Structures are given as C-alpha cells and as structure tokens.
Structure 1
Amino acid sequence: MNTQDVIRSASHYLDGLSGHIFDILDITKPISVDAAVNLSKVISKLSPLLGNLIEFNTVEFLNKQDEFSEFGKWQRQDPGFPDTIFVGSVQPTPGLEIKAWFPLATEITARFKDSQNHFQFDQTYVAILAWLPERVIYGKPRIVDVCVVSGLSVAAARDNHYHNPPDYLVLEPEDTTQRTANLQQTNTNGYKFQGSTEEFLEAQKIVESWGIEGKIYRPTREYQLLLRELLIRYKYRLDTNFAKMDRIVHPGIEQFKRRVFNIEVSGMTIGQWNRLLSTRRENPIKQALQTYLDIKEENIDELIE
C-alpha cells in the first residue's frame, strides 16, 4: 500500500459516512415555534464545537477499518497541519485536513492557506463533511454529504483565483526551514493594492515587463522575489478574507456545494432551508417549521402545567 492507496481507501470510507448519525450530541426539539425560530438563528454557533467532535470521531472511524491496521494508524495532530496523518510504514506520510461544514451558514468559512510547496507529493487531501441536525435545527448531527479533494488542487485553485498582479499579490511564506517546528511558516497570504491610480499604472508597467509568463502564478523563489518587489515599492493591505474555501472556485468543491444544496431534508432542499432561515421574515419561517418540523404554536396552558 502506497500513499495514494491510503488516501484512496480513506476517501472511500469517508464517502460512506453520508447519512451517518454521530451520537455525540442531541439538540432537543424546541417546545414552541417561537423557540424554534430563535434556535434557527443561533444553531450555526454549534458548528465549531461539532466540527471538532466530528473530526475526533472521523479519526476513530478510520482506525476501525482493518485495511489500515497492517500498515499504520491514523493519528490526530493538535495543533498541526493536516488534522490527521497516517503514521506507519507508508511514505511520504498521507494526511487528511478535515473540515466540517454547516450548510445553513452563509458559506464554507474554513480557510486553506498552506503553500503549494507543501504538497509536492500530493500526499495531503482535504475532507469536507457537510452536516445538519437530523431535523434541520434539532436532533443528532448527521453527515449529509462528503467531499474529498487533493490539497494540492485546492492550493493551486486558490492561488490562481486570487493572483492578479499588481492589483492582488499571493505571497509564499519566507524560508523558515532552519527554525524549530513551532516557528516555521507554512501559510500563504494575500495582499490588495492600496496605492494611487498613478502608482497602479506604474506597477502595471513593471508586471508587463515580466512578459506573458510573468502573469502566471508560481510558488518558486524567483517569482516570489518579483512579487515582493511590488510589495516593497507600493502600498498593499493584508487581505483577512484570503483563502476562504467558499471563494476559491475549486471545481470539486463547487460541485459538492451544488450537490449538498439539492439534497432534500424534512420537506425542502437544503438550499431552500438556507434561503428561508437566512431571511428576517419570521412568518414564512414559522410556517415552514410548523409544516415540516412538527413544531406547534406555543400553548401557554401546557407550559404552566
């Protein structure tokens, strides 16, 4: 078994998690439609906690598969990248970066900032697990779909999407290989041009002098020196939204998002639930909660008893 065999098998098992219910938390059914509306507004706040719990349980799930036991064991890295690596006889070491996605949130907020240079053997993959409570806003967390894609492909899609010198620069981390592990830099960053119109036109001429190939992003030291020349000469701001996975237009992730939003849950597609619960119009929300989730209008007499 080689690195790609391990990744391929892990992807297969993770794909099989679609529909799986994690018995790690049970959100109680709201006692009234008003309580349900309030819950729908805050349910996404559970995502970081449940994301971590799903990550823990996913590693345990993979270690239960007999296929891996002969060659090694999946082990969490906390902190560290990726989230889990396959420690054993297989080299280069396979790894999985696990991202939990709550699709009633506005977007996939997870970021992916690691440099392309860290995936030269395509040994690390990204696993996105979309989850919802069994009944949209209450019940146990259930995996609705899974997407596993190459980390290298995600990094390349990110860099190609943002890269647009001189307006936008994608910069690789400095060479920190001589530092201790906890001080090494592995993340790329994005920078947005903030200079004047005259300075922008001047910067454009510099980029044009690089030739056609100069406009193609490369994580090499030589090309990064060209980009850093612009960063030194002109005013740029660090883009804090850089590398959000929902915005890099990765074909596999985009297809996954469309697939998830078309899944029907409790009478409507996830996309319809997303649009409905993100509005501020409470009457349609109440009607849907009563119709599809069996949540009734509040009965004061029952609550008093």
Structure 2
Amino acid sequence: MILNNVYTKYNKENASWKNGLSHAVVVLIIFLLFQPFGFRDKDLELKILLFPGFSLIAFSYSICRFYVIRKMLQSKKTWTLKNEIVSHIAGMFPLVFIIHIYSYWITGDMPFNIHWYSTLFYYTTSLITVAGIIEYLHYSNKSAGIQIGDLSSRIQRYSQQIAMAQKEKEQDILTLSLEKGQLTVNREKLVFIESKGNYLDFHLCKSDGVTTKLTKRGRLHQVETDLENYIEFFRCHRAFIVNLKKAKQMKGNSKNAGLILDDELQEIPVSRRYFKTLTLKLEKMTTL
C-alpha cells in the first residue's frame, strides 16, 4: 500500500535548511504572482512586510518540522507517507493560526475571526499540500536514484569478486607442457612428477588421500619451466619434481637426502646438486 511506503525526506543526507528555503521561495513567488486575500489593493510598503514575512514563516515551519520529526525518528526508526500526511494535517492548525495573527498585526484591518481563519486554513493547506506532493515526487525519485546507485555499486563489487575468484581458480589449475599438447591438473593435487625416459608419471592425490598415477609422454625440463612461478614445486633430482607442501619430513644428509611425502614413508631422493637450493627454498617458504 502506497501509504506505508517509507518517506525519505527526513533522512540525514537531506538538509533541513534547503527544504525550508524551497518552501519560502515557493510561498514568496505565489504571493507575488497572485496576491490573494485582497493583498493586491494593499500599499507596496505593506506588501514588502507581508510577503517576506510569510516566506519567513514557511521557512521556520519547515525547519521546525524537520527538527521534531527527526527527534521522533530516533525511536520510531521509519517514517511513512501516512505519517507524513497525519503530521501535515496536524501542523496546519498552528501554522494557520500564526499566519492569521501575523496578517492581523501587520494589516490592522484583517478580521480576527473563525471565518477568516477557515479561509486561511483552506488556502494555506492547499498551498502546502501542493508543495508536499512536489516534495514527495522529488524525494521518491532521489531515493530511487540512490538505491540504483547503491545496487550498481554492489553489482560492480560482486563482479570484481567473481573476477578475483575466477583468477584464483585459474591459478589453482596448472597447464603443463607435454610432447604433444598439454596437461591440466589441479595445483593442490599434484604430489610429484617422476621422469622415466620419454615418459612422465604424474602422481596425483585424490580427495580421500589415495595417490594415483597418470603417465604422459613428455620431458621433465619442459614441465619444470611451466612450474617455475609456483614456489612449492621444486626439482630435487634429475628425475623428480616434488610439491614441497606434500612433504612430511626430510631424512639423510647433504650427500644422501630424501623427502618423506606421506605416512607410508614414500621417499623422493634429493641429489647433492639440488640440496643447497632446497635449503634456501624452504627458508623462503617458511618466512612467507
């Protein structure tokens, strides 16, 4: 129901003085153009007092409404169109009374009775209602613009997150050169690669921890080049490239070292020429 729509006029981003100024300008323009209530026949000096005075009253009324309603919103949290209409009607009674007193005081000849109060009430309420409708359309469009901007920003952030996730996913996939074509494997599942003549055995870890072997025709030095940007992969022997993240421990010495990969004590040899490089690489990995 439209009456239950949230009215955003009193949100913090909307300045009360701007709203008050717009009311004052509208009132001044209407009185200058139409000069109701017989003001057309009044002296210029009297109009100079009356019209800006009405504008000042409209400005003050708007500021006071903003202040009171924002105080109410501290406990109410939301302000609906129905709340705005009720407060608008309630606010007309004191506003018209102030206008009536001011007009009576300045002109000296405006009757101070129920008939004139009712007349002022009708025209003032009509004027403020028209201004209120214009305000409602303005703030509704402004709110829609903010919501669209916020949604657009969210979509952009989501798109960036998807792009980053896709990039990370792509980094998890290794593309390794073979003698003919390429092999794509999951980075985390590759345990080690063993060279056997013109063939390569790719040892992969399944989700249940079981290691499987995939044999392809290729050269170890080509695969080593493909893996040089991945710090965990290291050529520890002329026939082996190992994923150091899968290593459990190391045994032996610089002349006869070996990497233990799993609880079954599967051992990958480390040749003397790669031992020092392995030491430096492990130091680098443990300081990241």
After TM superposition, the score normalised by the length of structure 2 is 0.21
Q: Which has the larger radius of gyration?
A: 2
Q: Which has the higher helix share?
A: 2
After TM superposition, the score normalised by the length of structure 1 is 0.20
